[in-house]
Structure 1
Amino acid sequence: MLRYSAILKLKEQGLSLRSIAASTGNSRQKVTEVIDRATEKGLMGPFDDDMTDKWIEEFLFPERTLESSGRHPIDFDYVHRELAKPNVTLSLLHHEYELECRTNKRIPYSYRSFVRHYSAYANKHKATLRIRRKPGEVMEVDWAGSTTFIIDRDTGEKVKVYIFVATLPCSQLSYAEASLSMDLSAWITCHNHAYSYFGGSTQILIPDNLKTGVTRNTSRELILNPTYREMAEHYGTVVMPARVSAPKDKPSVEGSVGVISTWIIAALRNSHCFSLEELNREVHEKLEEFNRRPFTPKSGSRLSAFEEEEKFALAPLPKHSYKQSSWRDAKVRPDYHISVESMFYSVPYEYINCQVAVRLTEQLVEVYFNEMRIASHKRLIGRFGQLSTNRDHMPDNHKLYIDQTPENAKDWADEIGPNTLKVIDFLLGTAQTERLALQSIFTLKKLERRYSKYEIERACKMVVSMTNRPTVKSIQSILSNNKKSDAEQELKRKTETANNHYGFMRGAAYYGGADKDE
């Protein structure tokens, strides 16, 4: 066996390839091959007692061990890359490996040996072991059990501060942030910052069963807080809370919480911060140190493992971070409005007396019925009691009343005819107040439900020809009389038509007579 450790140690001492070859009794070609492979794999001193020549050979040239068995070698780099892809498993890759062996007429490894060799390769060569966790698959989140504090500038009292922790199990990269509370707003804000820190989102999000995120979690049903569910949908992830009293469902974050409690919370025990921003700067500095600390049994760090083996697998973030919203229930009042924080917002009048769900953001108020959005308003601010009413939500009679302005009244009359416009101008010009005139015009406009535009124009023409002071009541009377008169004339016309159709008309020729002139 080559003296791998001697070759690498002499190289670190600065000896030339010729000197190393002469000292170890190997060719310069072999020495060059070993040094190039060690540089490629990132293997460098100091070397401990466990790193024997055999260990180094298996690390640098794993394929040689497999080739000696007479079986078809496994392309571990290919297996490692393919496992990062969605839904790819070792079972599928072993099946493809067997097909390749049959094609090349080579003897394959069994599935158990395949998995064993890959596990040994991943443990030795990679910072992450994908046989346990796929990259970009899971993010585990929790509040740390230990707390820290900031100092109130005015009173000098210590204010308790909580630490949010998020971990990617594959690379073990963690995120931490200090917060003054553990309410829903802080929970969502910390998630937004964690996704921004990682630069992407995972397929699955595993929280604890805290009330701010999970309303109910039993073997039969899972009910999430609506805001938390909405945030997960925004980032394209699925929330799968850990089972009650089952910390093994999220072991990575549980382990990270303990380590972060030591390397961040305990490390800051002698720091005196006077604001949350100042404390978070300290936390982030310690966090960077924590993520860059080298792994003890293998090369690399959490950050390097993330950048090399997991970052590419994260889903891209949306263009904008999630804007927090809150939900509440409301009942539609008889005036087709709902009350939200002493402000009133309209919904379609068909939903009067119905229970609806209301989603509140900083800018919008959205109303849902059976998970379907039925109304949306810009959120009102300022004095209480303001109304936001959408015209499309009103019944037809309310629309007519709301639309009453002198300009709208004239536009309507102009569509009917010139005589109707004269009546409208007279009402607007002679009424004591504009409101009284508009009420009279509103009554006149409602007549359009029973009479055609032609009938209204004809009645206005008759009124204008009879008097210089037309009234709505006189127009109503004329319309009613005209209706009766038109009905009588129509009945008379039909009767005459019927008699003419069924009468017998015989001329003189029928009776054998002749004209006198003849």
Structure 2
Amino acid sequence: MSRPRIIMRQIREVLRLSLSERRSIREISQACSLPKSTVSDYVKRAKQAGLCWPLPDDLDDDGLESLLFGANTPPVHAKPMPDLGYLHRELKRPHMTLMLLWVEYREAHPDGYGYTQFCEYYRRFADTLSPTMRQRHVAGAKTFVDFAGDTLPIYGPDDEVEFYAQIFVAVLGASNLTYVEALANQNLYHVIGAHTRAFSSFGGVTDAIVCDGMRTAVTKADRYEPVPNATYLEMATHYQMTVLPARPYHPRDKAWITDYTSWWIGNEPVMELNNPGFLGDPVT
């Protein structure tokens, strides 16, 4: 038998206060005029069901009741929740991404959540595990640059590997607009050229450029005051940009670009291409 509408409104408010506002059982009990044991039961059931706030738009009262309290027949609107703990463990593997995990999830659940909602559920789950300072990026403020840790093999006409391309990645902090280029190596000529082509692709430059300790960009790595390369500094001066080398042992300085290099090199199309390699001549 379905619970009265007023009860379902109370349950939704309990879930909002618990999942979104992070209120204690006692505070929710006082706010909703419910026994602490009842509030605790609702919260426990919500966690077991893997619910996050806000609830899915298509989850009506009947579907919510079925998820929390069970039903004789499966709810029409409820979609299978991804195993968030499994996602968190798998993302620790090299090159594993949410895109790959979502593809795996949809293969098992063709009627499951779309990629955007899938990522949102995981993001909220991860936020509850390890609270960190959130970085806010202003449009036009910073460009983050780095090389991906992995390389891509470049094959010659005889199917032999001629060299391994270095993957240069540049990301605009506010919009996430990304530029990726494969280079023959990380010498100064190629690095400066990749920067100029990235700026051209973006259609402009930002106030500052944050480089993750690239050898061609930073002459002296220092915990407190890294020293940028003179030629690299001249390039930045030409574009009226400030060079901000990411400091060693300060992962928050470079979290943005690290995420995107990991995403790009681990993205499914790239992983597929990484096996056969590319056919071409070395760039000199």
TM-score by length of 2: 0.49
RCO comparison, higher one (Cα < 8 Å, 6+) = 2
User: Which one has the largest radius of gyration?
Assistant: 1
Which of the pair is proportionally richer in helix? 1
Q: TM-score, normalised by structure 1?
A: 0.28
